Amino acid sequence: MVLALNTVSGQVSDVSPKMLVHPHFGKYLVPVEEGTKSYNPEMYKGGTVEEKVAQKSKLGNLLSILKSDNEKETEAEEVTEAEETPQPDIDIEDEN
């Protein structure tokens, strides 16, 4: 038996390996790692394996864009903070 996610219902269960290559059911079953839990049915949006892969790649692209934007903001903040940090005035007086 293989642990698989049903991409329509979001449920995870053991299925026969033959089901993963079945002409119909193979479109909706994805093998998952041991310990993977089912999704909450009220919050899960179903779809085919191809739709889920497309969503995941779109999400990955979006996250990489957001990450690069965040890194740019962090670099800009570091530069701004360095410019705004006052340098201490140190007056050295001779006591002789």
Beta strand pairing call for 2-6 and 12-15: antiparallel
Tell me the residue range of the domain where 67 lies. Answer: 2-83
Q: Confirm whether 89 is domain-assigned.
A: no
Q: Confirm whether 90 is domain-assigned.
A: no
Q: Confirm whether 92 is domain-assigned.
A: no
Q: What is the pTM of this model?
A: 0.56
Cα distances (angstroms) measured from residue 58 to each of 9, 32, 52? 21, 20, 10
Q: Confirm whether 94 is domain-assigned.
A: no
Number of structural domains in the chain: 1
Task: Identify the CA nearest to 31 among candidates 43, 39, 19, 44.
Answer: 19
Q: Confirm whether 9 is domain-assigned.
A: yes
Burial (CB count <10 Å: 0-12, 13-18, 19+), residue 83: exposed
pLDDT in tens, the chain (96 residues): 999 999 999 999 999 999 999 999 999 999 999 998 998 988 888 888 888 878 777 777 767 777 776 666 666 566 555 566 566 666 666 655
